[in-house]
């Protein structure tokens, strides 16, 4: 997977990468504990290549956010991300297929107004 984060190139073998605008994903998984929905950034969580055993032991830690302490897990923030993979990979947004790589994802701050 090749990523360009605000113009900075990042490449490497990853099990997966998650692009978050909020702290939780999938209901109650604390994927990006430091994410703030109104900060103008997405939080990118990248999980490097892991053995099946290590991956299976790390995944439950997503529920309390401690997965970020694993040495193969990295967390960065960016406003724009360009994603390239070989071969082409399916992209999911909120569990729904929304496209394939290559793709560009950009945060547009304050585009949606929330009413309380």
Confidence of residue 7 (pLDDT cuts 50, 70, 90): very high
Domains identified in the chain, total number: 1
User: Looking at the domain assignment, is residue 114 inside a domain?
Assistant: no
Residue 112: pLDDT above 90? no
* pLDDT at residue 60, rounded to an integer: 94
Q: Is there a contact between 47 and 17 (Cβ–Cβ < 8 Å)?
A: yes
Residue 38: which domain range?
A: 2-106
Tally Cβ neighbours within 10 Å of residue 72. Answer: 16
Residue 75: pLDDT above 80? yes
- Residue 38: give its domain's CATH number: 2.60.200.40
* pLDDT at residue 46, rounded to an integer: 95
* pLDDT at residue 85, rounded to an integer: 92
């Amino acid at each position: 997977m090749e990523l360009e984060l605000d113009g900075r190139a990042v490449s490497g073998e990853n099990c997966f990468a998650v692009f978050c605008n909020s702290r939780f994903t999938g209901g109650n998984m604390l994927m990006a504990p430091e994410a703030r929905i109104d900060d103008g950034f997405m939080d990118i969580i990248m999980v490097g290549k892991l053995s099946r055993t290590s991956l299976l032991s790390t995944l439950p830690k997503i529920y309390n956010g401690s997965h970020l302490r694993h040495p193969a897990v990295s967390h960065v923030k960016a406003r724009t991300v360009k994603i390239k993979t070989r071969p082409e990979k399916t992209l999911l947004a909120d569990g729904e297929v929304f496209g394939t790589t290559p793709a560009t994802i950009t945060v547009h701050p304050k585009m949606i107004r929330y009413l309380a």
